[in-house]
Structure 1
Amino acid sequence: MKTTLIKQVDCIVAWDDSRQSHVYLTGADIAFTGDRISYIGRHFDPAGADVVETVDGRGMMVMPGLVDIHSHLGHEPINKGYTDETGSVGLYSSNLYEYMPTMKDEASAPAQLTLAAAELLMSGVTTVVDMSNAHEHWIDIIAASGLRGYIAPMFRSAQWFTRNGHVVEYAWDEDAGIAGMERALALIDQAEAHRCGRIAGMLVPAQIDTCTPELLRASHAEARRRGIGWQTHAAQSLPEFHEITRRHGLTPIQWLHSLGVLDPGSIVGHAIFLDDHPNTHWSTSTDLSILTETGASVAHCPTVFIRRGMALRDFGRYRRAGINIGIGTDTYPHNMIEEMRNVGYLARLVAETPHAVTTSEVFNAATLGGANALGRQDIGRLAVGAKADLVMVDMTHHLMRPSRDPLRSLVYAAADRAVHTVYIDGHRVVHKGEVTSLDYRKAAEEVDEAQRRAEQKVPQRDLVAHRHGTEMSPLSFDVV
């Protein structure tokens, strides 16, 4: 097979198996043959290899592709500029029940997916879990993008809504939940059969409070039978926390544990409001240890919660407890490096110490943590035999300088602006900062039009007071 050599790289974030850690390897070469890394070191010997391309690595950092384990690519981009400052005053500032249902446009899902996928690629993401509503172009767009994708169609037994802004109600249809899971399984079968070989599936009963215990158990059992991942949203809002404790007398984490659905193949989306969170005022302090003992992973997505004044308390505490944490881009912008920045800053703010979390721990979560949550050892690291998913960062970019510690310069200063080239499965999908596989500029225009279309329907979707979009989410300044 053909080999590509990236020669004389200034800095490689390489995996050192003896240390069980990423390390900085300077002045070295990295080569990949087909879809696998075939060499990392200082003296590449081309003997026996058909080198099809030699890439100049001088002035570059090469790092493993980032792993995004929690995103909603098909319906989040449309919220940009609309849900930045919204939150129900009667529902502990949550945005889920009153505001988010008013801004949607199913017809634009392909354009939203295209735009978000391009953002991910340009911020160094090579693997993504996309928890969205199914549409006919979903698999084809993920395949065309070049991403290593996990198709995760959400399904649920109830729709939530609020008619007054302070009470969440649920419209139950248990048969719809089962039918939704069956459709999800059929789509996962279709995705995993795709000729690109990069697409897998994950079962996602959407939210803990919108699914019956039977649906949660059945979906988890089917995920284990098929050997695929399982994820749900839990402990993501105070209204949800109170709803689950009212129904079951248990916290969301305790209830999931009682159902037997927490294990090393399970991912809990958010897991913010545990029993010892200062805002829950609950009588126990066992949720953290449950997550540790079961081996379940947490998908940490700080940006969307920072907007509501909410925070996981805190990243460092969860990690010290032994919980595996991956990072997700739950909302716009789908920029994984900026999400990593928020992980670090928020953890230090909440813990009130700069020692709450290190950049290496954040980077581990965005690579190894995500890979572990997906049950994979062949992504999230640069090692011989691992997948050729790698990112070239321009260390000569002015925002990367000084580059005493290149990962810190990337995360806290340059972000996606310094991402130069991205390879997935050995195929180049980003070059000179531009996605080559998707027409994301056209998609951006389509999403812009869709938002204007959707805003016209906001009054009929607002069950509280039939307000217009500019009433629900006023512009930063008056238009004159």
Structure 2
Amino acid sequence: MAPIVIEHVDWAVLWDAEAGRHVYRRDVDIAFDNGAIVFVGERYEGEAAARHSGRGRLLMPGFVDIHTHPTSEPLRRGLTDEILSPGFHHSSLYEYLPVITTTPEGAAAAMRIAVAELLKSGVTTVVDLSVPFEGWLDILGESGIRACAAPMYRDARWFTSNGHALEYEWDSAAGGRAMAAAHRLIERARQHPSGRLSAMVAPAQIDTCTADLLVESHAFARERNLPFQIHVSQSVAEFHEMFRRTGMTPIAWMDSLGILDERTILGHAIFLDHHPWLHWTSRRDLGLIAERGASVAHCPTVFVRRGIALRSFGDYERAGVNVGIGTDTYPHDMVAELRTASYTARTIAETVADHTAADIFTAATVGGARALRREDIGRIAPGAKADFVLVDLTDPAMRPIYDPVRTLLYSADSRVVRDVWVDGERVVADGRVTTIDLDAATAALEEAQREAIAGVRGRDWAGRRIEELCPRAFPFG
């Protein structure tokens, strides 16, 4: 079958393999067939199954989002934006996440909405860190996105009975069963008929897993040649808890177990031993991550909401750490996430020189691909997957056009994303997601939030109503 061609693309972000970086080109054609790019150059003269005009468009690689929780986060809109948790340095993990829960139906609705948002913001590959439920993989497959399924499991749940002490309920037998079920699900994902699903080993959090579970999980990842991701160094409470148990920082403990290596993705890795909130006595964690070749999944928005920030994006990259970007919370908007990443890092570093737009864009494309151990996504080049985005350069937010990627990150927003192709299939056409019924998903999510709110008082340690836990911005008059 002849390829599909997009011709006369005004601007393109292409991959220069020799230089190892993205480069701009003007007035190019791209051809793709069987889900892969077969030609990038001045003119494609061969036969074509279809030709589309690229005039007035920026063609760029799809973003690679390496850390999301789409089955839970959309449910919390309007609830957890400004919550306080002074006993836990205002992290939402311990007082709020355990009490705002949902059903499989609510998770499915949230997932569809999150994936639609991701696609509309130019994400073509997503890592979905979820507690699995029936139909999860099929929803991912139907969405049209390229997905890495990361079914989470753990040995313990965390809770608080007083709002300041972090407690754990351990059940290693249940954790082992959950790990085995997740590993079976990983094999199903890799064989999914959509052809767009891969998988990742994902024990949930460093403080909710035993050493045995972590070592066995990492061994499984190594045996199957899969990425391995875990939430680690994501709160002050977790850092101190792990030192109390092990006498080591969370990162140093991972290294002692042999699970910190080039296949490891560290979810967040904010509270390393150099972070000023810890006032710690060592400065080894960042160098250790770089030395072992591990990657960091940086998700700025969810933390900045709580006054927490990585110290800093540029410092991690200069240390030699591979950084990818994730959307850990609503909105699942990668363009907004990149802008937050940039502005936060420059504020923390107190200099615009912390990084460039190219650094941020590269982290969201090639950085994510490298973390997933893939060389066929996050770039536009012959042989790569046909996962790319067309941005409307005629939109006023993108004009005048001097540097389109910089303008996209700092001036425009995801509304200028007009078309998204994944595996050679157009899943966003003229700004509309073609694979997901957003109206139905939104109605289902609203019902799920109502149900979640109704059960909050019974799950909260202090028996508080939702209005006490999450006060509205303004009272009713």
Indicate whether 1:393 and 2:396 are aligned: no
Distance 1:112 1:390 in 2: 25
Distance 2:144 2:249 in 1: 40
**Superposed displacement of residue 260, structure 1:** 0.5
Q: Residue 2 of structure 1 aligns to which amino acid in structure 2?
A: A
**Superposed displacement of residue 81, structure 1:** 0.6
Q: Partner residue of 1:474?
A: 471
The 5 A counterparts of 1:48-447 are 49=47, 51-107=48-104, 108-447=106-445
SS at match of 2:114: helix
Cα-Cα RMSD: 0.8
| Over 2 Å off, 4+ runs | none
Name the stretch that deviates more: 395-404 or 154-163: 395-404
Q: Deviations over 1:419-471 (max 9, x none)?
A: 000001101100011100011221012111211111111101101x1100011
Give the conservation status (yes or no) of the 8 Å contact 2:9–2:55.
yes
**Superposed displacement of residue 2, structure 1:** 2.9
SS at match of 1:152: strand
Q: Residue 276 of structure 2 aligns to which amino acid in structure 1?
A: P
Name the stretch that deviates more: 395-404 or 57-66: 395-404
SS at match of 1:350: helix
SS at match of 1:90: helix
Q: Partner residue of 1:42?
A: 42
Q: Deviations over 1:214-237 (max 9, x none)?
A: 101000001110111110000000
Distance 2:222 2:148 in 1: 16
**Superposed displacement of residue 194, structure 1:** 1.1
Distance 2:401 2:457 in 1: 51
Name the stretch that deviates more: 185-194 or 148-157: 185-194
Q: Deviations over 1:329-386 (max 9, x none)?
A: 0111111111111111111000000110100000000000000000000000000110
Task: Number of aligned residue pairs: give it.
Answer: 476
Name the stretch that deviates more: 18-27 or 375-384: 18-27
**Superposed displacement of residue 253, structure 1:** 0.7
**Superposed displacement of residue 283, structure 1:** 1.1
Give the conservation status (yes or no) of the 8 Å contact 2:122–2:414.
yes
Q: Structure 1: state its 5+ residue gaps.
A: none
Q: Deviations over 1:391-423 (max 9, x none)?
A: 000011111112211111111222210000000
SS at match of 1:242: helix
SS at match of 1:328: strand
Indicate whether 1:30 and 2:27 are aligned: no
Name the stretch that deviates more: 75-84 or 184-193: 184-193
Distance 2:413 2:64 in 1: 16
Distance 1:282 1:355 in 2: 27
SS at match of 1:210: coil
Name the stretch that deviates more: 412-421 or 347-356: 412-421
**Superposed displacement of residue 179, structure 1:** 0.7
Q: Deviations over 1:56-91 (max 9, x none)?
A: 100000000100000001111101111101131011
SS at match of 1:208: coil
Distance 1:351 1:421 in 2: 35
Name the stretch that deviates more: 149-158 or 186-195: 186-195
**Superposed displacement of residue 29, structure 1:** 1.0
Scaled by the length of structure 1, the TM-score of the pair is 0.98
Distance 1:382 1:282 in 2: 43
Distance 1:222 1:253 in 2: 20
SS at match of 1:100: coil
Distance 1:33 1:203 in 2: 31
Give the conservation status (yes or no) of the 8 Å contact 1:402–1:409.
no
Give the conservation status (yes or no) of the 8 Å contact 1:14–1:25.
yes
Q: Residue 100 of structure 1 aligns to which amino acid in structure 2?
A: L
Q: Residue 126 of structure 1 aligns to which amino acid in structure 2?
A: T
Give the conservation status (yes or no) of the 8 Å contact 2:36–2:423.
yes
Distance 2:226 2:290 in 1: 21
Scaled by the length of structure 2, the TM-score of the pair is 0.99
Q: Residue 182 of structure 2 aligns to which amino acid in structure 1?
A: A
Give the conservation status (yes or no) of the 8 Å contact 1:2–1:34.
no
Distance 2:377 2:84 in 1: 37
Q: Deviations over 1:134-180 (max 9, x none)?
A: 11121111111111111111100000001111100000001111111
Q: Residue 22 of structure 1 aligns to which amino acid in structure 2?
A: H
**Superposed displacement of residue 271, structure 1:** 0.4
Distance 1:218 1:34 in 2: 37
Give the conservation status (yes or no) of the 8 Å contact 2:7–2:43.
no
Q: Residue 25 of structure 2 aligns to which amino acid in structure 1?
A: L
Give the conservation status (yes or no) of the 8 Å contact 1:8–1:27.
yes
Q: Residue 369 of structure 1 aligns to which amino acid in structure 2?
A: G
Distance 1:29 1:446 in 2: 42
Distance 1:476 1:18 in 2: 53
Give the conservation status (yes or no) of the 8 Å contact 2:66–2:325.
yes
